[in-house]
Amino acid sequence: MTINPQTNHTQSAASVEAINMTMKFGEFTALDNVGIKVKPGSFHALLGENGAGKSTLVKCIMGFYHATDGQVLVDNKEAQMDDPKDAQAIGLGMVYQHFTLVPSLTGAENLLISRVNAPNIINWSDENDDMTAFIDKMPFKVPLDVPVSRLSAGEKQKLEILKQLYLGSRFLILDEPTSVLTPAEADEVLSHVKKLTKDNKVSVLMITHKFKEVTKFADEVTVLRRGKFAGGGDVSTLTANDMAVMMMGSETPKVEFNRAPTADDNILKLSNVKAQDRSGLKHILIKDLKVRAGEILGVAGVSGNGQTELMEILTGQRPMTDGAITVQDHPFSGTREQSKKYQVRYLPEEPLQNACAARMSVAENLAFRIFDMQGDKKRFWKSDQDIKTFAHKMITEFNIKTVSTDSPISTLSGGNVQRAVLARELTGDVKLLVISNPCFGLDFSAVLAIRKRIIEARNNGVAVLLISEDLDEIMELSDRIVVMSEGSINYETEANSADITKIGHYMAGHS
């Protein structure tokens, strides 16, 4: 008779502490001397923007990464985790952002097969009795006899948590557990988790960037910013504003650019634009948004509040259910013809995936907007010669570093891919430029070069809509700032007179 993991369920919550964790990827320091302590039976939140080092920290704790420096203590004893199985063995479990359940298997089958010691021949009546006994001790129930694919997102998330407890985890890392849930489901799941910690069954470390969840459920919080410890403590002593400031920071000096005066004509207008969000459960509603020629409008917001959807609406990737978009007073739905006619250009986030054909050459990628044109006329045969000449011109003008015009664009560094896309999008007459997170993951010099280009375009009379999760970037580039929260715009201010605490307040969802 093998030992069932269920016997572990009488064990109580573990304490986990990471000391002086440093993680370097080559030159880049993802995590710089960060410490965190999760007390037994506590609900600890880990806050930070994208790229702040949250995932790196938990992956170091779980043994996915081997930290460059630092150590992990479990129940005050040093623990050596070489891979996630070691972590599992001493009771550390992780629930991923994306479900790891097997969709066509039932809940019970999923629980059973994830056990290391699953029996060769399964006696389902015994196993079902065991599982019922286990579920009865839990504060929430999930139907175990239907295929997981038929469960709702909330039920799946609960099943993921149950699975970890079933496997004997005494410390749980939840990676943005509510990102795929409706607000009601999120509330329910987290209050159950809270109950589990109160019963001292498990300690929880939850990665999030939603302040509401932190203030409502967490006991303690640690805030990371750009790989460093940015603050933390008892949640009861902190306000959402305090946390927003820790998370976004406001210490970077603003680089001043020369700005030409803004014209009065509105280039882009959105009125009552409505669309479904990614989860299909909530709506994006932009009541009124205007961008004038020679103006940069910054859209600030914590990621996941509808910015991606806004970008998709503007590029024609997401159908609107209501409302109208006009560009230069003509209706606009993002087709190639329209963007050519009204001179609309895009710079989406992660340009290698969203704005390039990764395996095609640099020259071909640069030619996406001109390969079928000969001056103003359409052409049938493409001319490799013209494409090459154009590419050489762009490469010198925008200072793109590439081995040759024929190398695949995926061989370029992130900054150079972004330069290439900018070169393509800013060439010719441009009236409107829609940008999303242009400097995400780029080094300092590339960031500066790209921001200069954006300002230059603005000074030439281009209307720029800048969607960014980096508040510093918004503050630095924008003439006017709006804040997006839960799918709509809840605050607008001139950049000159903007108050960063106030912006943080609205970003945190208050109004």
Partner 1 sequence: MSDVTDIGLWGVPLAIIGGAIRVSTPFLFVSLGECITERSGRINLGLEGTLIFGAMSGYAIAVNTQSPWLGVLGAAFFGMIFGLFHGWVCKFKGVNDIAIGIALMLLGNGLAFFFGKPYIQPVAPDLPAISFGWWSDIEQVRAALQVNVLFIIGLIIALFLAWGFKSTKIGLTVRVVGDSTDAARAIGLEPNKIRLLSTAAGGALAGIGGAYLSLYYPGSWNEGISSGQGLMAVALVIFARWNPINCFWVALLFGGAGALGPALQSVGISQGYYLFFAAPYVLTLGLLIATSSPNKAMESAPGELSITK
Q: Which residues bind partner 1 (CB under 8 A)?
A: 85, 100-105, 109, 112-114, 116, 118-124, 149
Nearer to partner 1, 99 or 140 (CB): 99
Nearer to partner 1, 112 or 507 (CB): 112
Nearer to partner 1, 76 or 100 (CB): 100
Provide, rounded to whole angstroms, the least separation between the CB of residue 474 and partner 1.
36
3-state secondary structure of 400: coil
Provide, rounded to whole angstroms, the least separation between the CB of residue 37 and partner 1.
28
Nearer to partner 1, 76 or 104 (CB): 104
Kindly report the backbone phi and psi dihedral angles of residue 83, in degrees, each rounded to the nearest multiple of 5, phi listed first. -155, 165
Provide, rounded to whole angstroms, the least separation between the CB of residue 365 and partner 1.
23
Query: Quick one: three-class SS letters along 413-466?
Result: CHHHHHHHHHHHHHCCCCCEEEEECCCCCCCHHHHHHHHHHHHHHHHCCCEEEE
Provide, rounded to whole angstroms, the least separation between the CB of residue 103 and partner 1.
6
Q: What is the CA radius of gyration of the chain?
A: 26
User: H or E element: which one contains 353?
Assistant: helix 351-354
Provide, rounded to whole angstroms, the least separation between the CB of residue 89 and partner 1.
12
Provide, rounded to whole angstroms, the least separation between the CB of residue 306 and partner 1.
27
The b/e string for 178-195 (b: 16+ C-beta within 10 A; e otherwise) is bbbbeeebbbbbbebbbe
Provide, rounded to whole angstroms, the least separation between the CB of residue 20 and partner 1.
30
The answer to whether the CB of 224 falls within 8 A of the CB of 64 is no
Instruction: Give the separation between CA 308 and CA 257, rounded to whole angstroms.
Output: 27
Nearer to partner 1, 260 or 358 (CB): 358
Instruction: Give the separation between CA 250 and CA 499, rounded to whole angstroms.
Output: 10
Provide, rounded to whole angstroms, the least separation between the CB of residue 51 and partner 1.
23
Nearer to partner 1, 122 or 263 (CB): 122
- Least Cα distance to 437 among 354, 348, 313 occurs for 348
Nearer to partner 1, 102 or 285 (CB): 102
CA angle (240 as vertex; 237, 244 as ends), nearest 5: 115
Nearer to partner 1, 118 or 358 (CB): 118
Instruction: Give the separation between CA 435 and CA 315, rounded to whole angstroms.
Output: 11
Instruction: Give the separation between CA 220 and CA 223, rounded to whole angstroms.
Output: 10
Distances (CA, A) of 413 to 352, 400, 402, 478: 10, 10, 9, 27
Instruction: Give the separation between CA 481 and CA 498, rounded to whole angstroms.
Output: 8
